[in-house]
């Protein structure tokens, strides 16, 4: 992942202010920008303009960014396609995940499928032996597919003696209903409970202990200050917490900041490319991008902290959070990449209660 120096950040912000004030054309600042960041800079200016309602100028800058994109990082090109489908507006979908199909397509692309396979293997390696039936909560369970795959792996490898209870938590009614069916079909004799809620709205109502809490690409839907509150609430009720997340600097930076735009540019580019590259009906692939991935991108690029929907953090920030909120009773057990390229990393992080 590429980062800006404090001087570069100040220069980018200054250039953005000048563009907003005077309508400066693309290419004006090329000599001031690190060559490998030219497309990211043009993307930054284009998104600031589009977010401020100046779509035509924004598209001009994004088009300049797209011309310089290469090496499978085509974030500006993908955003241009979105704007063409939405009349030049950075428009949020009315209800994300109303239809589970876009998420299911996302989970099935080769990049995600391989990353989830590594995540499951890493869980089996880092967790201790459970001699009693396992109790598990899945925070942001999605369609339940990962839950089933993980539990089957733990059973097949002898890591657990059996499955006693599964608690499925998701804010989407369609997702939690599908997850319940998926898990119940796989484990008909297991006690399955569901909560249609965000974890930040139900963490205070837990009333019994779970051996394991898992969160896959879900715990980033709240800012750091809320992560601290709800992780502290979870702590008395869990013995192990395993996180599957994307490495990105999307929490602390404010909206319209160069740091946030550069992080979004990198963290979503490879993922959107993977979605469009995977064989699927065109309408499903576009729905996956527009109703899921681009919904997150638009929230990050247009909404201030505390309002936006996503707050991915850097791996170092997750470590600091777990150390502060779960330590000293919990210790790190695993920190491993599940997928990595030059700009994007998906990783596993496990903190467990020390015996």
Task: Count how many domains the chain has.
Answer: 2
Clarify whether residues 150 and 166 are in a common domain.
yes
Q: Which residues contact 355 (CB under 8 A, 6 or more apart)?
A: none
User: Are 202 and 340 in the same domain?
Assistant: yes
Q: Among residues of the chain, what percentage have pLDDT more than 70? A: 98
In this prediction, residue 100 carries a pLDDT of: 72
The more confidently predicted of residues 200 and 289 is 289
> Which helix (DSSP H) or strand (DSSP E) does residue 243 occupy?
strand 238-246
- The answer to whether residues 81 and 210 belong to one domain is no
pLDDT at 96 exceeding the cut of 60: no
The answer to whether residues 171 and 224 belong to one domain is yes
Domain extent at residue 298:
6-91+253-302
φ and ψ at 343, to 5 degrees?
-120, -25
**Better pLDDT: 279 or 14:** 14
Across 85-99, 210-224, 301-315, least confident range: 85-99
15, part of any domain: yes
- Closest listed residue to residue 222, CA positions, set 96, 309, 300: 309
Q: Are residues 243 and 258 in the same domain?
A: no
Query: What would the mean pLDDT of 316-331 be, rounded to a whole number?
Result: 96
Residue 196 scores a pLDDT above 60:
yes
Return d(Cα 324, Cα 315) in angstroms, integer: 14
Instruction: Name residues whose C-beta falls within 8 Å of residue 267's C-beta, 6 or more positions apart in sequence.
Output: 1, 246, 247, 248, 250, 312, 343, 344
> Could you tell me if 200 and 334 lie in one domain?
yes
Same domain, 241 and 260: no
pLDDT at 95 over 80: no
How many Cβ atoms are within 10 Å of 32's Cβ, its own excluded? Answer: 12
Shared domain for 236 and 347, answered yes or no, is yes
Domain co-membership, 227 together with 268: no
Rounded to whole angstroms, the maximal C-alpha distance in the chain is 68
Residues 199 and 153 placed together within one structural domain of the fold: yes
CB burial readout 145-163, b (16+ within 10 A) else e: bbbbbbbebbeeeebbeeb
- Residue 120, pLDDT score: 97
Average pLDDT of the residues in 250-268: 96
Give yes or no for residue 102 having a pLDDT over 80. Answer: no
Question: Can you read off the two tokens belonging to residue 319?
Answer: 């470590």
Helical H runs in the chain? 6-22, 38-51, 55-67, 75-85, 101-108, 110-126, 145-156, 173-186, 199-202, 224-234, 258-277, 282-288, 294-302, 315-326
Label residue 169 by pLDDT band (50, 70, 90). Answer: very high
pTM of the model: 0.93
Each residue's pLDDT tens digit, 225-247: 999 999 999 999 999 999 999 99
- pLDDT for position 98: 63
**pLDDT greater than 70 at residue 338:** yes
Please report, for the domain that includes residue 193, its CATH number: 3.40.50.150
The Cα–Cα gap between 165 and 167 comes to 7
How far apart CA 245 and CA 229 sit, in angstroms, is 19
Q: List residues bridging with 244 in a β-sheet.
A: 216, 348
The answer to whether residues 199 and 319 belong to one domain is yes
Give the span between the Cα atoms of 160 and 144, in whole angstroms: 19
Could you tell me the strand order of the sheet in which 330-340 lies? 191-196, 163-170, 134-139, 210-216, 238-246, 345-353, 330-340
- Per-residue pLDDT at 103: 76
pLDDT tens-digit series, residues 266-284: 999 889 988 888 877 888 8
pLDDT digits (tens, 9 = 90+) for 117-162: 999 999 999 999 999 999 999 999 989 999 999 999 999 999 999 9
CA distance 229 to 214: 17
Q: Mean pLDDT throughout 196-216? A: 85
């Amino acid at each position: 992942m590429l980062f800006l120096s404090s001087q570069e950040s100040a220069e980018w912000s200054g250039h953005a202010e000048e563009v907003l004030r005077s309508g400066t054309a693309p290419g004006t600042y090329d000599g001031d920008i690190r060559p490998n960041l030219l497309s990211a800079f043009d993307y930054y200016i284009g998104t600031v303009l589009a977010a401020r309602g100046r779509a035509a100028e924004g598209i001009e800058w994004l088009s300049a960014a797209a011309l310089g994109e290469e090496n499978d990082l085509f974030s500006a090109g993908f955003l241009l396609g979105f704007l063409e489908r939405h009349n030049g507006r950075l428009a949020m979908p009315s209800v994300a995940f109303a239809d589970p199909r876009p998420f299911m397509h996302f989970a099935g692309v080769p990049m995600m499928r391989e990353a989830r396979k590594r995540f499951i293997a890493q869980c089996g390696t880092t967790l201790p032996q459970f001699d009693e039936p396992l109790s598990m909560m899945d925070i942001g369970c999605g369609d339940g597919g990962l839950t089933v795959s993980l539990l089957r792996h733990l059973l097949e490898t002898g890591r657990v003696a059996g499955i006693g209870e599964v608690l499925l938590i998701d804010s989407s009614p369609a997702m939690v209903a599908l997850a319940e069916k998926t898990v119940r079909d796989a484990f008909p004799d297991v006690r399955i409970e569901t909560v249609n809620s965000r974890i930040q709205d139900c963490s205070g109502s837990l009333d019994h202990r779970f051996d394991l809490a898992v969160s896959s690409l879900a715990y980033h839907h709240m800012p750091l200050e809320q992560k601290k509150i709800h992780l502290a609430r979870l702590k008395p009720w869990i013995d192990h917490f395993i996180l599957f997340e994307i490495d990105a600097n999307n929490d602390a930076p404010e909206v319209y900041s160069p740091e946030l735009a550069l992080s979004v540019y990198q963290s979503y580019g490879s993922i959107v490319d993977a979605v469009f590259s995977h064989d699927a009906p065109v309408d499903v692939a576009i729905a996956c991008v527009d109703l899921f991935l681009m919904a997150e991108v638009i929230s990050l690029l247009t909404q201030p902290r505390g309002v936006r929907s996503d707050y991915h953090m850097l791996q170092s920030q997750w470590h600091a959070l777990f150390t502060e909120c779960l330590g000293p009773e919990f210790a790190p057990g695993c920190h491993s990449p599940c997928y990595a390229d030059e700009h994007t990393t998906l990783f596993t992080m496990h903190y467990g209660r020390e015996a």
